[in-house]
């Protein structure tokens, strides 16, 4: 095992400990939604996260090693929701490590660079990997980042819309630099997660209520020799004169 791999494993264990501590602080929030950012290296995942979590942008950003995460607490439908946004490394050598973080994710943002056609072409592969590890009801948004570089565009908006429609994904173009659509993109994913969770809770409550009603009604038991005598209204016999 190389030094880099050892560092990744140690940082991963440390991150899990932090995650356990954060997840345990659920008494102050109504929901905790885990969302992952996925895509090739250098498409701007970390910058999008920094813009959403802290409203920051750094011109000297470095590639993510392994996995990092940020949190932000917000209000959705009068409920306090803590968003845990996980930033996954895009390099191939880290994918075996980061794939474990897809599990338990309720939302995902597939991010490509509108000036880099290859990063968009890789979306199908990232989506396949995501769906292989995540819950089937996960909310997914396709995000075309760096919309401020319109003059260098290499991915047509219509191509991305077509892919999103074909794969049943939400779609939005963003700019972490100019803070364009960053907030709406994250809020769309988190709000849709809340809608899905609320619907599941509603169905669960309805099923529980139906079960309780059945228990209260009970089951009629007929004891041998004490069968009820049919009345004229429910008797199947015919009277003759």
- Lowest mean pLDDT of 52-61, 94-103, 120-129, 135-144, name the range: 94-103
**Per the domain annotation, does 210 fall within a domain?**
no
Q: What is the pLDDT of residues 36-77, one digit of tens each?
A: 999 998 999 999 999 999 999 877 766 655 578 899 999 999
101 belongs to a structural domain: yes
> pTM of the predicted model, to two decimals?
0.73
Question: Where in the sequence is the domain holding 151, given as residue range(s)?
Answer: 3-199
Q: Is residue 209 part of a domain?
A: no
Q: What mean pLDDT comes out for the span 169-175?
A: 98
Q: Is residue 21 part of a domain?
A: yes
pLDDT > 50? residue 232: no
28 belongs to a structural domain:
yes
pLDDT in tens, 207-231: 555 555 555 555 444 445 555 555 4
Query: Is residue 231 included in any domain, yes or no?
Result: no
Whether the per-residue pLDDT at 182 is higher than 80: the answer is yes
The answer on pLDDT for 101 being more than 70 is yes
Burial class of 70 by CB neighbour count within 10 A (0 to 12, 13 to 18, 19+): middle
Q: State residue 5's pLDDT score.
A: 53
Query: Residue 169: which CATH number?
Result: 3.40.50.300
Has residue 214 been placed in a domain? no
How many structural domains does the chain have? 1
User: Pick the residue with more confidence: 173 or 6?
Assistant: 173
Tell whether 152 is covered by a domain: yes
């Amino acid at each position: 095992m190389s030094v880099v791999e050892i560092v990744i494993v140690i940082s991963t264990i440390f991150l899990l400990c932090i995650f356990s501590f954060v997840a345990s602080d659920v008494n102050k929030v109504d929901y905790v939604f885990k969302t992952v950012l996925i895509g090739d290296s250098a498409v701007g995942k970390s910058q999008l996260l920094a813009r959403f979590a802290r409203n920051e942008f750094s011109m000297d950003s470095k590639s993510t090693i392994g996995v990092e995460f940020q949190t932000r607490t917000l209000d959705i439908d009068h409920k306090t929701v803590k968003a845990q946004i996980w930033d996954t490394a895009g390099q191939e050598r880290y994918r075996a490590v980061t794939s474990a973080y897809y599990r338990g994710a309720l939302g995902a943002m597939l991010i490509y660079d509108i000036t880099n056609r290859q990063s968009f072409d890789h979306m199908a592969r990232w989506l396949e990997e995501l769906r292989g590890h995540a819950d089937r009801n996960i909310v997914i948004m396709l995000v075309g980042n760096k919309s401020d570089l319109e003059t260098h565009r290499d991915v047509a908006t219509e191509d991305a819309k077509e892919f999103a429609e074909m794969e049943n994904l939400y779609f939005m173009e963003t700019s972490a630099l100019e803070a364009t659509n960053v907030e709406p993109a994250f809020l769309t994913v988190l709000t849709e997660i809340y809608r899905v969770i609320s619907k599941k809770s509603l169905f669960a409550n309805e099923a529980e209520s139906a079960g309780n009603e059945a228990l209260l009604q009970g089951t009629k038991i007929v004891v041998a020799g004490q069968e009820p005598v049919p009345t004229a209204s429910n008797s199947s016999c015919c009277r003759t004169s």
